[in-house]
Chain A
Amino acid sequence: MILILLLSISAVASALIPTMRKRVLVELTHAAASVISLVVGGLVIWRLWLTQSAISWHLLRADSLSAFMIAIVTFVGAIAAIYAIGYIRLEFDESHFSRVRLFYALFQLFIFTMLLAVTTDNLGVMWVAIEGTTLATVFLVNLHENHTGLEAAYKYLIISSVGIALAFLGTVLMYYAAADQVGEIGLSWTSLIAMATRLDATIVKLAFVFILIGYGTKAGLAPMHTWLPDAHSEAPAPISALMSGVLLNVGLYALMRFKAVVDITAGAAFSSAWLMRFGLLSLGLAAAFLMSQRNYKRMLAYSSVEHTGIVALGLGFGGYWGMLGALLHMVNHALAKSMLFILSGSILLKYRTTEIRAVRGLLKAAPWTGAAFLCGILSLVGLPPFGPFISEFLIFRAGFAAHSTEYAVIGLSLVVLVFAGMLSSVNAMLYGTPEERIHCGDPLRWSIAPLAFNIILLVGFGLTLPSGVREFFSGVLRVMGVSL
């Protein structure tokens, strides 16, 4: 029942907002829904932690893996939601009230579809929910209604729809493999796992290839990533934060659910090989585009492709430490990237451009924004004391341990390349003297205050992994069939 409560908050808010006539009321509902979702999400995680068994109710089911995702969705959701209020106030005045209302309604719908995707046991419902995320966000990408926004939204919709259609084909094949064994089973993940040893390996392998291409499109794996830099850079900042920080992880989550089944049926080597190939390709392509990026929002978007690639490598290298690294990296990337996209919104508000070379002296012009931006970038390129340093270390060490030395070596050198490329671009933005027209002071200072949590958590994950947290991650890994 608590799952119904969790899902209904955002669903109800999304349904109510279009009926409201006052802007303040809309904003209040939106903020309240996001904060309550965070609290209820925390309660769900707390209950799972206490009982150590899954919560299940008809089509809905939440285990530790779901709890992990609920934490990411509701936390980043709340941070982005709070920032959105200030950002949208500055971007759209009273004359655009209907568009403001649409924005908040779709924002909540987006949160709802992601929560539904990670709390259902039925793989078909999960598919519908993930396709729902595309439909909820496509208008948000084009919120500003200009040429480039239109182009980005069209590409996003057509490529994601084709990708998700292939994921459906994979789901159907998986269902077929199971129905072939025992007849009618529905599309329940728990029953698939239970009979995984008896499934036909050829069909399951074929299914996984389609799943990987399909959900890989949503997760931003190359070469299916082409929509991502456009959509993530054109969307308003709070939405970019959610798309890069959370939505990509929802795609990875779907992959992980299927990987758990395939690994039992066909052995881990099969899915590993594919994940490593796609992971390395993503890392390589992203590195190439990051070397000479002129637009900072696109730079952040390509960096998301890079980090999805690193997570895929971690999942591919496998073993307890590789998978633990992948999970930690998903969290770290969500924290760092959502923060950076939110800050990119503030930079855009201040400088009115997304060109890197037009942004100078950020640390002088907007000290808080600049300092937080610097923290985020240092996290992303994998410097200590921030979390990604540890998770990347775990992932590449697992690569050497798994004798995938060539993947680990090439991967590491690409990470170093990205390090150099991104730092040189960002250096230019942070230092120097700002133009005269730029006044000193942080835009939306109170809206970015919650980002302190992101920085604290990033440093926390970089310095320590308390035994309770480690135990939580071990629980998530047991769901995936991996233990130390």
Chain B
Amino acid sequence: MPFAKIANLLSFLFLLTSFLLIIRNSLTGQVRMFAIQSGLLAMLAAVVAHFGGSAELFVIAIVFAVIKVILIPSILTRAVNRIGIQRAVRPYLGTSVTLGICALLVVIAFYTMAPLAAANRLPTGDGIPLAFAGVLIGLFTTVNRRRALTQILGFLMLENSIFMIALLATYGVPLIVEIGVFLDVLVAVLILEIFVYRIKENFDSIDVKQMGALKG
């Protein structure tokens, strides 16, 4: 299969996992879906590295896979287990409304990114609007979720999508920056995980809606 087709297929599957993640009910299911999504991205990075002949990008793909397919999901799974398996509480908006909004976001993404995708001479350009749709969906999920843990998943989806844009539009930004980004994300997740416990201890639930003391 030619390069462009593989890249597009992976981009499409990527967006599909975003949608599947939103409609999943169990927290472990959502974490697993995030791991699958990250796996797809690592594959995409490896494919781009192969066709672009970039050794640096291979290193990025491997580091990415280690951090986002193995490390972060295991941290999150541990967090889910320690707070006891719970069904993800209904978000502020119900599933059907959420899906409708996300579909709308995909349209907006195609509209916004049209000039960028048109100007892109790289064979991976067609996937950019799909990745940008992922950015918007991630952002929306972070806002729409009540649980600290699911907000973190929204943030991670957002990060993945931005990484994908970097990959598609530029074949990856320089190595040093990418590694720095991964480390920052890893540390952020570690800190957030600590907060999930503390929120659980302090508020008897990880529902961020209970946090309302600071106002005005």
Q: List A residues at the B interface (Cβ < 8 Å).
A: 59, 122, 124-125, 127-128, 131-132, 134-135, 138-139, 147-148, 150-155, 157-158, 161-162, 165-166, 168-169, 171-173, 175-176, 179-180, 186-187, 200, 202-203, 206, 229-230, 233-234, 289, 293-294, 298
Contact = CB atoms under 8 A, between A and B. Distances in A.
Contact of A202 (B119, B192, B202, B214): B119
B169 A150 contact: no
Contacts of B119: 180, 200, 202-203
Given A154-B199, A168-B162, A200-B119, A175 B211 contact: no
B188 A298 contact: no
B133 interface: no
Nearest to A170: B162
B214 A151 contact: yes
A169 B177 contact: no
B37 to A, nearest CB: 16
Interface string B151-178: 1100100110010011001100110110
A88 B139 CA distance: 38
B216 A135 contact: no
A383 B195 CA distance: 43
B180 A128 contact: yes
B50 interface: no
Nearest to B213: A148
A59 B203 CA distance: 45
B1 interface: no
Interface of B: 112, 115-116, 119-121, 135, 139, 142, 148, 151-152, 155, 158-159, 162, 165-166, 169-170, 173-174, 176-177, 180-181, 183-184, 187-188, 191-192, 195, 198-199, 202-203, 208, 211, 213-214, 216
Contact of A230 (B162, B192, B214): B214
A234 B213 CA distance: 12
B177 A147 contact: no
A238 B119 CA distance: 49
Contacts of B181: 124, 127-128, 168
A172 B216 contact: no
Contacts of A166: 139, 162
Residue among B187, B188, B214 facing the most chain A CB atoms (10 A cut-off): B214
A141 B184 CA distance: 19
Given A154-B148, A157-B192, A162-B158, A147 B202 contact: yes
B216 A202 contact: no
B165 A169 contact: yes
Given A127-B177, A172-B173, A289-B216, 20 more contacts: A59-B176, A124-B177, A128-B181, A128-B183, A131-B188, A150-B199, A153-B195, A155-B211, A157-B195, A158-B151, A158-B192, A161-B188, A162-B158, A169-B135, A172-B165, A172-B169, A173-B116, A180-B120, A203-B115, A234-B214
B184 A154 contact: no
Shortest beta-carbon contacts, A-B, top 6: A124-B177, A128-B180, A151-B211, A176-B169, A230-B214, A172-B166
B216 A298 contact: yes
Main SS at interface, chain A: helix
Nearest to B151: A158
A176 B170 contact: yes
Contacts of B169: 172-173, 176
Residue among B119, B148, B170, B208 facing the most chain A CB atoms (10 A cut-off): B170
11 contacts: A124-B174, A124-B177, A128-B183, A134-B188, A150-B199, A154-B195, A176-B116, A179-B170, A186-B174, A203-B116, A234-B214
Contacts of A124: 173-174, 176-177, 180-181
B173 A131 contact: no
Residue among A151, A186, A203, A229 facing the most chain B CB atoms (10 A cut-off): A151
A294 B195 contact: no
B177 A152 contact: no
Nearest to B139: A162
Given A172-B170, A203-B116, A229 B214 contact: yes
A417 B212 CA distance: 28
B115 A151 contact: no
Nearest to A151: B211
A157 B184 contact: no
A179 B120 CA distance: 11
A187 B202 contact: no
A175 B213 CA distance: 42
B112 to A, nearest CB: 8
A152 B214 contact: yes
A436 B79 CA distance: 50
Given A154-B211, A298-B216, A125 B180 contact: yes
